[in-house]
Amino acid sequence: MDKLVIEGGVKLKGEVTVSGAKNAALPILAATLLTDQPCIIKGVPNLRDTNSMIKILRSLGKNAELDKGVAAVTRGKFTNYIADYKLVSTMRASFCVLGPLLGKLKKAKVSLPGGCVIGVRPVDLHLKGIKALGADVDIEGGYVSAKAAKLKGSRMYLGGMYGSSVLATDNVMMAAVLASGKTVIECAACEPEVADLAEFLIKMGAKIKGHGTPIIEIEGVKYLNGATHNVIPDRIEAGTLMVASLITHGDILIKNVFFEHLGALIDKLEEAGAVNIIKADSSLRVKGSKKLKAVNITTLPYPGFPTDMQAQMMSLMSVTPGISVITEKIYPDRFMHVAELNRMGAHIQREGPHAIVEGIKGLSGAPVMASDLRASACLVLAGLAARGKTSVSRIYHLERGYENIEEKLGKLGAKIWREKE
């Protein structure tokens, strides 16, 4: 097992290109199950999670390869409808094969993905949606079994305790595209990754309207064709790099960015005093500012402030003068990084779904341990800003969502390297 070692205090400078969005690529790869024809997906990041999805497609009988950012998926002997626990348990997003398997084969047996350190994320909305389409659903032995002689369009409300669900919206949308009649999803997730999946399905011949809004309308079709698609840029990687520039007082040109996907983050950074955020074509130039001030942050479903940027912003606020309150409304338990930041000298106190951050002049390098994907990014950012050396253990979390992150940071001047534990 490897760890990352970072010698902090270096101002990051240069150019970096954002990879394709993992959270868009995974359901798009799953959607290839809906057709017998070849699909080419470009801009797929080479990550643990995307490679796990390729393995799941193969286990279901598809021919699937990922090479240099291009995933090629063809039919093969696609007859298997069982997604095994050993594969599904490696990442929660793999549960999104449920919808396309049910839509295409009219039956599916998918392992329940289980819990996660950032909090319990039930699949009740997924099951509510596919039941509304007419599927019979049973849960036994840790698996969800669903079957239907024929799926029928329906009107449904998919709001949950903490708002809409991205994966539930994905799953129901993929099941509904081959159902008969019209499906209307109310309180649908509005995230760009959901809209990107819809765009891919439309290229395949699906009839979808309203994606990117809380109400999605789907008119079922009899079959879908193959398609070629470019995955959108990863807005969370772009946001992480923006924070990296600010926390190191650097100057970074970030390429392959969709500005419209970063509105809430840019707004909050500008509120904090980051006046040197310059937009040009599909690039952002972010210059560090020594006059940042503490701001309060509340995570919300898109277009609100993304929960996947909460931990990274906490790193920035920990070295920003003043007191900020960070409220987590998506996953209230998503604060595993607080204790690790405090090990580096941060002054953070958790109160339920709130974290109270008192900014200090500087962090000190220390051995820390990543608990999840975004917490690992938070600790890397803290290490970049800290005095001395920081070692981040369990970086396999980082490898789930950031493609070649140590190489990208290294080219920007960071003193970062990999060592064996």
pLDDT, one tens digit for every residue, the chain (421 residues): 899 999 999 999 999 999 999 999 999 999 999 999 999 999 999 999 999 999 999 999 999 999 999 999 998 888 899 998 888 887 888 999 999 999 999 999 999 875 455 444 578 999 999 999 999 999 999 899 999 999 999 999 999 988 899 999 999 999 999 999 999 999 999 999 999 999 999 999 999 999 999 999 999 999 999 999 999 999 999 999 999 999 999 999 999 999 999 999 999 999 999 988 999 999 999 999 889 999 999 999 999 999 999 999 999 999 999 999 999 999 888 999 999 999 999 999 999 999 999 999 999 999 999 999 999 999 999 999 999 999 999 999 999 999 999 999 999 999 999 999 8
Cα separation of 179 and 151, whole Å?
5
Distances (CA, A) of 129 to 123, 171, 172, 343: 10, 8, 6, 43
Strand, helix or coil at 279? strand
Strand, helix or coil at 318? helix
Q: Which residue has the tokens 């959901």?
A: 194
Cα separation of 194 and 216, whole Å?
11
The fold for domain 2-18+233-420 equals UDP-n-acetylglucosamine1-carboxyvinyl-transferase; Chain (3.65.10)
What pLDDT does residue 90 have? Answer: 77
Q: Is 377 within 8 Å of 402 (Cβ atoms)? A: yes
Backbone angles phi, psi at 289, to 5 degrees: -125, 135
344: which 2 tokens?
A: 């580096």
Q: To the nearest 10°, the Cα dihedral for 83, 85, 90, 96?
A: 40
What pLDDT does residue 115 have? Answer: 47
Cα separation of 417 and 203, whole Å?
42
Cα separation of 57 and 75, whole Å?
10
Residue of 162, 220, 219, 168 lying closest to 189 (CA atoms): 168
Residue 116 known to be catalytic? yes
Domain 22-230 belongs in CATH node 3.65.10.10: yes
Distance of CA 198 to the CA centre of its chain: 17
337: which 2 tokens?
A: 């990084």
Cα separation of 386 and 45, whole Å?
29
Residue from 39, 116, 187, 190 carrying the catalytic annotation: 116
Q: Which residue has the tokens 């409304």?
A: 329
Q: To the nearest 10°, the Cα dihedral for 325, 168, 38, 83?
A: 110
What pLDDT does residue 114 have? Answer: 55
Cα separation of 337 and 118, whole Å?
10
Q: Where in the chain is the domain with CATH 3.65.10.10?
A: 2-18+233-420, 22-230
Residue of 90, 47, 48, 43 lying closest to 69 (CA atoms): 43
Q: Is 171 within 8 Å of 201 (Cβ atoms)? A: no
